[in-house]
Chain A
Amino acid sequence: MKWSQSLRIQRMHIGGHVVLIIVAAIILVPLYYVLVNAFKTDMGINMVPMGFSREYFTFESFRNVWRLLSFPKALMNSLILVVVSCAILIVSGALAGFSIAIIHNRLLRSIYTTLVLLISVPFQVILIPNIQILTALKLMNNYFGTSFLFAAINMPFTVFLYTGFMRAIPRELCEAAIVDGCGMGKTFLRIYMPLMRVVTSTVLILRGTGVWNDLLIPLATFTNEKYDPLIRRLYAFASLRFNRWDLLFAGTVLCSIPILLLFLFLQRVFIRGMLVGSIKG
């Protein structure tokens, strides 16, 4: 009986492997398809759609797309948006989370509840008024205006995360700090923030890639293309020349390289961070 049971378990395992291998293929094949075709001429993509080919091998698409996207400038724009919006997000989000976590009063509690309710407002609902607000504040076509918008959109969730994790820190720690003569600012900087490294790195990485990847906000807030980040340039370029697959393949690869590198080096942080965001929060 034991024998047949172990056999059955083994068979189940093999079945499980097969299913997961098929799923892995469904994920991998499109990625492979893009990567392999990014190094071919347009002709080559038609002739040898799936394989490597020495005959049609070229770097030309990358060179062209680099120029067409004005890659260095667009990369700079993307980086500015990511850095500025994440800096605002972390500083204001952590400060607010700290205050809500350690001080108990009705005002802060209702602020917290309101923030939680605002987590999933669809951007379309605030798009048009935001154009009006940014125009009124003279922040259209302005790195800061767009970064403010990015920071604001991600703020409710970030405060929610920091609050949850700061509440889990034993109050005794805070009290000890007070007894030792720490003020609120010092308690925040010296005691709480060092304990929040996981949350901070999560916010940085997940919200950072979110800002990097976003199309709609730059689309709405920049009317002058000199401010456009990479993803919006790629979108504009692809909408105009969708038939140039060689350029498109190279362009998508070029715009994803930073994310790919981040993922390879920080894979654990990514997955851990996602859990931080979903379960614990």
Chain B
Amino acid sequence: MRALRKASSFTDRWAGLGFLFVLPAVLFVVVFIVLPVILNFYLAFTNYKGFGNPYRYIGLLNFKSIFTDKSFWLVLSNTFKLLLFYVVILNIGAVFLAVRIVDMGQGFGTFIKSLLYFPCLLAQIVVGFVWRMILNYQRGLVNVSFRSLGLDFLALNWLGEKALVIPVVSLVIVWFATGYYTVIYYAGLMAISPEYYEVATLEGANGRQKFRFVTLPLLAPAITINVVLSTMGVLGAYDLPTALSAGGGPGYHGTTLALLVIRYVYENYQMGKALSVATIMAFIAVVLAYFELKLLVKREVH
């Protein structure tokens, strides 16, 4: 502690300048993030109708109109369905692939890693439109293939069926994002010392046991990061779902909270509703991050 203080005194003379150095970053963040967050919470309790119009405090009226709106509850359940499907499938898939890639070693493993990583560089709307064509009922690749194999009963209306659209959207986002998370898991696996596996081998553990008792516990920090990152990512995901489901259709069955805010702003011009849904979204983000961190960090080995 003493040494630290002594060392830091060296740069203490720069304290004033130091504040000047952080100023631009702080300014941008305050003006375009902090202030807007506060403003959003405040405006959600007013009858705000867009720039330039006078507005006043109306209490919980916006929230009341949201909570009595049937489509809101549908959208909320869509959002949680998407979160559940996406986060679970993505993380299990990415851990599995990362383990496989490590097993394959350099060469083929590296090739697959780069290939997997490629889709998440594409624009989300490009991915959304491409899959909307592939999954098209009449002439999409998937249904054309099924029909040519005589499996007509499998040629479903993937994006038009109320019950199918959210699972299909989840899977397409998984296609888009898996590479990103696989690379993080891959790095986590590479950081595990081989000695643990040697000891496990000496004690007669088989592959499955090694995975269960060595890999999984030591990969826990990466799992924590990825679960939280993927939850936050999909909660705010707009571009891909909107391109894929043509703006959240059919009806509100393909709409999540992230899309609902935008639909309220640009389709229905209901700013009050948009602001209150955004507030609810922020609340859900904080609560989910808190519980996920609490649950997952507890499981990490220290």
Q: Could you tell me which A residues sit within 8 Å of B by CB distance?
A: 12-13, 16-17, 19-20, 23-24, 26-31, 33-34, 45-46, 49-50, 88, 91-93, 95-96, 98-100, 102-105, 107-108, 111, 114-115, 118, 120-133, 135-136, 148-149, 151-153, 155-156, 159, 171, 174-175, 178, 184, 188, 209, 212-216, 231, 234-235, 238-239, 242, 245, 248-249, 252, 255-256, 259, 262-263, 267, 270-271, 274-275, 278-279
Q: Could you tell me which B residues sit within 8 Å of A by CB distance?
A: 4, 7-8, 10-12, 14-15, 17-19, 21-22, 24-26, 28-29, 31-37, 39-40, 43, 48, 51-52, 97, 100-101, 103-104, 108-109, 112-119, 121-126, 129-134, 139, 141, 144, 175, 180, 183-184, 187-188, 191, 207, 222, 225, 229, 232, 235-236, 238-239, 243, 246-247, 257-258, 261-262, 265, 271, 274-275, 277-279, 281-282, 285, 289
| Number of interchain pairs (Cβ within 8 Å) | 280
Task: List B contacts of A156 (CB < 8 A).
Answer: 29, 33
CB <8 Å contact, B183 and A152: no
CB <8 Å contact, B33 and A275: no
- A156's nearest neighbour on chain B, judged by CB, is B29
CB <8 Å contact, A279 and B25: no
**Given that A30-B131, A174-B10 are known contacts, is A99 also in contact with B31, CB under 8 Å in the complex?**
no
Task: Select A19's contact among B100, B239, B261, B282, beta carbons within 8 Å.
Answer: B100
Task: List A contacts of B225 (CB < 8 A).
Answer: 278
The 7 closest A-B pairs by CB, nearest first: A152-B32, A122-B236, A126-B36, A96-B25, A129-B36, A129-B39, A99-B21
CB <8 Å contact, B18 and A99: yes
CB <8 Å contact, B100 and A235: no
Name the prevailing secondary structure of the B interface residues.
helix
CB <8 Å contact, B33 and A252: no
Task: List B contacts of A279 (CB < 8 A).
Answer: 184, 187-188, 191, 222
CB <8 Å contact, B33 and A152: yes
